[in-house]
Amino acid sequence: MSTQTKFLLTEADLPKFWYNINADSPVAPAPVLHPQTMEPVTPDFLSVLFPMELILQEVSTERYIEIPEEVREIYKLWRPTPLLRARALEKALDTPAHIYYKHEGVSPCGSHKPNTAVAQAFFNKIGGTKALTTETGAGQWGSALALACNFFDLPVEVYMVKVSYNQKPYRRVMMETYGATVFASPTDRTQFGRSVLAEDPDSPGSLGIAISEAVEVAATSGGAKKYSLGSVLNHVLTHQSVIGEEALKQMDMAGEYPDVVIGCVGGGSNFGGIAYPFLRQNLLEGKRTRFVAVEPTATPTLTKGVYTYDYGDTARMAPIVKMYTLGHGFVPPPIHAGGLRYHGMAPSICALYNAGYIEAVAVPQLATFDAAVQFARTEGIIPAPETAHAIRTTIDEALDAKEKGEKRIILFNLSGHGNFDMSSYQAYFNYELKDYAYPAEAIKAAMADLPKVPELA
Ligand SMILES: Cc1ncc(COP(=O)(O)O)c(C=O)c1O
């Protein structure tokens, strides 16, 4: 019987193409609308924020998009990432399930985020962009873009949600080490930030607010600065498909095929990244893998949100998209998974979830940290709090398989390590963490503020 734990690819196996779900999805996402006119957006509108190459990828229905050589060269610093079998966790759970995880925490800044950051910095650089602006929640995305922009000699301004800026000072220093300029959002640098502060000087910030600030700076820069988003958009999920493409080959090396693929969801990019290449095998090859997106009960976008048109940001400057949403005014409770605190979700994931191709579950914070600690004590890796949501559900699947006496093959995406999240772990050990379920009334109230999109009115 094989006792292999790591399944490693060589640099020669690094994928040459990203996979675009829009080529095969049986449920095309609804058109993206202009925030003022509510008409489908034109490339002209999007070009204020994004370089043309990324706009073309955003609307592409090509199945495969070539990964430029310059991007592959940088990917080689940490890719292909390892696939591991969590043998010690399986033993601790005494489960007949086989648990595999793709370890994206081995990237220089510790998460999957550089897979798209490097691509976005590259396409901006060759498109003539002079500087990038972005937001960050937990700091993972900001550090990834800081790393990537540094490689392409592109200045970057990062608007970091204030509660995370205070909770995770080392993430800020990491971004500065790579050369980024970091601000605690809401700031007084933008009109929108000033308006938020006027209403609530102690605002903890939110991803929606930080996005508005970063978008405002780019949109008012006369074309010099462009905006970069770390999740939600289709081109981001496409770039993340390198994870699943590698995992397909590695599961093959392991001689198994997943019955279930699990990922946590903030805007949906690490989940889409690992799931979509396997979903393609369902759609085109008749495989029957299940896909489970895991979110916190504090930000239950898929499980409790409403599937409708909403703004992508709080200030209503970003395009309107059809997605599951908690309302663009959503200011989440300060839970310790900063990267999962977004009010919306990638439109392709929403469309696929709505049509039943993807499942979703919400897990509470304390049970999530229980799972994180169990994983650290068996497999050795301390996961990011975001990732721990996927681990919670993986353990639940493995225990369910045990109860049913099934040999279930489980694959989850270890989207990042938690080495910068020790204050969250400390709060857990000090019994300071609380469970929080976002109230249904708050979601209902937020729906009154949705854009009045003509065909829905
Ligand atoms: C480690 C980690 N995992 C997951 C996420 C969630 O983002 P997404 O849904 O785009 O993968 C984040 C976001 O910051 C993150 O830092």
The pLDDT tens digits for 224-268 are 999 999 999 999 999 999 999 999 999 999 999 999 999 999 999
Nearest Cα residue to 274 out of 93, 72, 121, 416: 416
Contact assessment for residue 2 and residue 87, using Cβ atoms and an 8 Å cutoff: no
Q: What is the pLDDT of residue 206?
A: 83
Task: Report the percent of the chain where pLDDT is more than 90.
Answer: 82
Q: What is the pLDDT of residue 441?
A: 84
pLDDT digits (tens, 9 = 90+) for 28-52: 888 889 999 999 988 888 999 999 9
Which amino acid residue places its CA nearest to atom 14 of ligand 1? 339
Residues 6+ apart with CB under 8 A from 121: 132, 145, 148, 149, 151, 152, 154, 228
Q: What is the pLDDT of residue 207?
A: 82
Q: What is the pLDDT of residue 20?
A: 98
Query: Does the pLDDT at position 1 exceed 80?
Result: no
175 alpha carbon – ligand 1 mean position (Å):
17
Supply the pTM of this predicted model: 0.96
Query: Does the pLDDT at position 320 exceed 80?
Result: yes
Nearest Cα residue to 235 out of 390, 70, 387, 32: 32
265 alpha carbon – ligand 1 mean position (Å):
7
Q: What is the pLDDT of residue 329?
A: 80
The least confident of 188-197, 318-327, 436-445 is 436-445
339 alpha carbon – ligand 1 mean position (Å):
5
386 alpha carbon – ligand 1 mean position (Å):
6
Cβ atoms < 10 Å from Cβ of 119:
28
The answer for 250, left when phi > 0, alpha when psi is -120 to 50, beta otherwise, is: alpha
Alpha helix ranges (H) inside 314-421: 347-354, 365-379, 385-404
Residues 6+ apart with CB under 8 A from 309: 30, 33, 320, 321, 322, 450, 451, 453, 456
Q: Which is the closest atom of ligand 1 to the Cα of 232?
A: 10
361 alpha carbon – ligand 1 mean position (Å):
16
**DSSP label at residue 22:** G
Which tokens is 449 given? Answer: 């503020």
Contact assessment for residue 422 and residue 415, using Cβ atoms and an 8 Å cutoff: no
Query: Does the pLDDT at position 92 exceed 90?
Result: yes
pLDDT digits (tens, 9 = 90+) for 153-180: 999 999 999 988 988 889 999 999 999 9
Query: Does the pLDDT at position 457 exceed 50?
Result: no
> How far apart are alpha carbons 181 and 160 in whole angstroms?
10
Q: What is the pLDDT of residue 439?
A: 83
Which amino acid residue places its CA nearest to atom 5 of ligand 1? 339
Query: Does the pLDDT at position 442 exceed 70?
Result: yes
Which residue shows structure tokens 């508005």? 212
> Residue 411: beta bridge partners?
100, 261
Nearest Cα residue to 102 out of 89, 111, 92, 93: 111
Which residue shows structure tokens 């009010």? 343
Query: Does the pLDDT at position 401 exceed 70?
Result: yes
The answer for 40, left when phi > 0, alpha when psi is -120 to 50, beta otherwise, is: beta
Question: Mean pLDDT score of the chain, rounded to an integer?
Answer: 94
Pocket-testing residue among 81, 106, 109, 111, ligand 1, by greatest number of atoms within 8 A of Cβ: 111
> How far apart are alpha carbons 52 and 46 in whole angstroms?
8
- Averaged pLDDT, 83-100: 98
Q: What is the pLDDT of residue 314?
A: 82
H-helix or E-strand containing 184? strand 181-185
Q: What is the pLDDT of residue 229?
A: 94
- Averaged pLDDT, 371-386: 98
> How far apart are alpha carbons 390 and 411 in whole angstroms?
10
Q: What is the pLDDT of residue 337?
A: 66
> Residue 295: beta bridge partners?
362
Query: Does the pLDDT at position 117 exceed 60?
Result: yes
Q: Which is the closest atom of ligand 1 to the Cα of 273?
A: 11
> Residue 136: beta bridge partners?
160
> How far apart are alpha carbons 449 and 310 in whole angstroms?
9
> How far apart are alpha carbons 111 and 34 in whole angstroms?
32
Pocket-testing residue among 109, 262, 269, 392, ligand 1, by greatest number of atoms within 8 A of Cβ: 269
Cβ atoms < 10 Å from Cβ of 452:
8
CA dihedral 181, 186, 187, 193 (to 10 degrees): 130
Q: What is the pLDDT of residue 270?
A: 98
363 alpha carbon – ligand 1 mean position (Å):
16
- Averaged pLDDT, 147-151: 98
H-helix or E-strand containing 270? helix 269-285
**CA distances to 190, 194, 270 from 197, in Å:** 11, 5, 32
37 alpha carbon – ligand 1 mean position (Å):
31
H-helix or E-strand containing 66? strand 64-66
Pocket-testing residue among 136, 158, 231, 349, ligand 1, by greatest number of atoms within 8 A of Cβ: 231
369 alpha carbon – ligand 1 mean position (Å):
16
> How far apart are alpha carbons 110 and 101 in whole angstroms?
15
- Averaged pLDDT, 387-398: 98
Nearest Cα residue to 117 out of 144, 151, 150: 144
- Averaged pLDDT, 122-138: 96
Which amino acid, 56? L
Which tokens is 140 given? Answer: 């993972």
- Averaged pLDDT, 138-148: 95
Nearest Cα residue to 262 out of 147, 135, 377, 393: 393
Pocket-testing residue among 135, 415, 421, ligand 1, by greatest number of atoms within 8 A of Cβ: 415
226 alpha carbon – ligand 1 mean position (Å):
22
- State the pLDDT confidence band at 455, using cuts at 50, 70 and 90: low
Q: Which is the closest atom of ligand 1 to the Cα of 240?
A: 11
455 alpha carbon – ligand 1 mean position (Å):
33
171 alpha carbon – ligand 1 mean position (Å):
14
The CA angle 260-261-265, to the nearest 5 degrees, is: 135
Pocket of ligand 1, beta carbon within 6 A: 111, 137-138, 140-141, 231, 264-271, 339-340, 384, 386-387, 415-416
Q: What is the pLDDT of residue 26?
A: 97
210 alpha carbon – ligand 1 mean position (Å):
16
Most distant CA atoms of the chain, gap in Å: 65
Q: Which is the closest atom of ligand 1 to the Cα of 138?
A: 14
The least confident of 226-235, 298-307, 448-457 is 448-457
**CA distances to 137, 157, 160, 176, 372 from 179, in Å:** 18, 10, 15, 5, 32
Contact assessment for residue 117 and residue 229, using Cβ atoms and an 8 Å cutoff: no
Which amino acid residue places its CA nearest to atom 10 of ligand 1? 269
Query: Does the pLDDT at position 357 exceed 90?
Result: yes
Which amino acid residue places its CA nearest to atom 7 of ligand 1? 266
Angle between helices 114-126 and 52-59 (to 10 degrees): 130
Q: What is the pLDDT of residue 12?
A: 97
Q: Which is the closest atom of ligand 1 to the Cα of 270?
A: 11
Pocket-testing residue among 113, 276, 412, ligand 1, by greatest number of atoms within 8 A of Cβ: 113
Q: Which is the closest atom of ligand 1 to the Cα of 268?
A: 9
Q: What is the pLDDT of residue 152?
A: 98
